[in-house]
Structure 1
Amino acid sequence: MQGLLFNDWNTLPFIILALVISFTIHEFAHAYSAYKFGDPTAYQMGRVSLNPMVHLDLFGSIVMLLAGIGWAKPVPVNRNNFKNPRLMGIIVTAAGPLSNLILAFLCVFLYVLVQQQGWQGTMSKGSSDAIDQFFIRMIITNLSLFLFNLIPIPPLDGYRILQDILPLRANMRLQRFEQWAFIVFLLILYIRPLRQITLDPYFMLIDDIINWMYRPIAAMLGV
């Protein structure tokens, strides 16, 4: 793993833009769904917003630039305000990763549409390359966030979903390993041989998801 600053400087602006948009949509989805299900906590804190500044975490952004893994500000949720805390909790938690999946699908659609219509042929090479970079980075970033957040390791969304699905007794047993789970995850993330047999194959699913998205879009647009 390496930080964003180690990337090609020509692509760095597109990577940062994609991350800002994707993080913002992800956290907004958590906040908006919680508000709609009856919890005003995030709304009262100004988090039901598409303004990136209310969602981005300064330290998390710096770590992203330096180490290649970062985070946004977590959305505060009071599940006691939900009529069905466990079910609504699952939906609110899943809203973040699902928003990234939907955004990736939308970007695939728009990218195929732009290519199908031949609009890039009327642009300069610089503008055409910028469009390519923007859509490619948006698609890869959002699918990466979708898969990453589904990993059942605290404090990721996948872990919170798992907590809500499991019976209470199993949940209590799971909590005993919380303090070690993230350490194990970091070891897997930064020890290359471990990453090659775990996370790398998992994130190779990105190509399969893109192909899965492309087929119905191509059929719809007659590509």
Structure 2
Amino acid sequence: MSFIQNLLPDNILITAVCLLLTIVAHELAHGGAALLMGDTTAKDAGRLSLNPIKHMDPLGTLSLLFFRFGWAKPVPINPNRFRNRKAGMLFVSAAGAGMNLLLATVSVGLFIYTGNKHPLWAEFLQLMILYNVYFAVFNLLPFPPLDGSKIVFSFLPVQMERKVYQYQRYFYIILVIFVFSGALQRILVPAANAIIRFLVGLFL
């Protein structure tokens, strides 16, 4: 996972803050989108909160502290409560990556116009750009349980969706192999770089 190592600065505090903002915003977007589609599960569970403690996963938090890369507890979603199940799955699944790309866009703009104010501010914005873009691209990969697979499934007939889900564990194994073999890096890095260049071009 050398691509992650390349993103790790010496300032662990800035790293932790950026990762928490990236991950919590991603999960909040899922919960908020689900609420808009009629599912109150996340709201009822108290997960539509800006308090990062409510979103912390014990193992993900330990990973964040020791490896500077972690994850949050997935926001609970009940697709059966969506007003339109297929549309709801598409909207909710895309919301997390959409929020990350929005944060990356704002961070690019702030970096271009205010990044020279202070070195720590510039480092914070650079990491917000990198983490949010990488997190968005990673989650859009079409491997269960990532959001990208749910976006693809939202276009499939229900019968086909159920059949594909029967093989979910095999897709998970493929994803793990991609991560630890370095193959994931060859997908993420070019895609992330292209997105960052595009975002920078919006402000120049």
**SS of the residue aligned with 2:142?**
coil
Could you tell me how far 1:170 is from its partner in structure 2? 2.6
Query: Does structure 2 retain, via aligned residues, the 8 Å contact 1:60–1:70?
Result: yes
Which one of the candidate residues 126, 139, 146 is aligned to 1:136?
126
* Deviates further, 170-179 or 136-145: 170-179
Unaligned runs of 5+ in 1: 121-127, 219-223
Percent identity of equivalent pairs = 30
Unaligned runs of 5+ in 2: none
Larger Rg: 1
Query: What corresponds to 1:211 in structure 2?
Result: 197
Query: What corresponds to 1:221 in structure 2?
Result: none
The code of the aligned residue for 2:85 comes to P
Residues 1:201 and 2:155 aligned together = no
**SS of the residue aligned with 2:71?**
coil
Cα RMSD between the aligned structures?
A: 2.1
Q: Residue by residue, what CA displacement relative to the aligned partner does 1:83-140 show, whole Å, maximum 9, x if unpaired? A: 111101210111111000000000001111114xx6x2xxxxxxx2211110110000
Instruction: Measure the CA separation in 2 of the matches of 1:110 and 1:7.
Output: 21
Which one of the candidate residues 141, 159, 177 is aligned to 1:169?
159
**Moved >4 Å (runs of 4+):** 64-69
Q: Residue by residue, what CA displacement relative to the aligned partner does 1:62-92 show, whole Å, maximum 9, x if unpaired? A: 2344566542111111222221111012101
**TM-score after normalising by structure 1:** 0.82
Instruction: Measure the CA separation in 2 of the matches of 1:180 and 1:52.
Output: 32
Query: What corresponds to 2:87 in structure 1?
Result: 87
Instruction: Measure the CA separation in 2 of the matches of 1:36 and 1:94.
Output: 13
**SS of the residue aligned with 2:154?**
helix
- Return closer, same or farther for 1:7/1:30 CA change in 2, 3 Å cut-off: closer
Instruction: Measure the CA separation in 2 of the matches of 1:91 and 1:108.
Output: 25
- Return closer, same or farther for 1:68/1:18 CA change in 2, 3 Å cut-off: closer
Query: Does structure 2 retain, via aligned residues, the 8 Å contact 1:55–1:73?
Result: yes
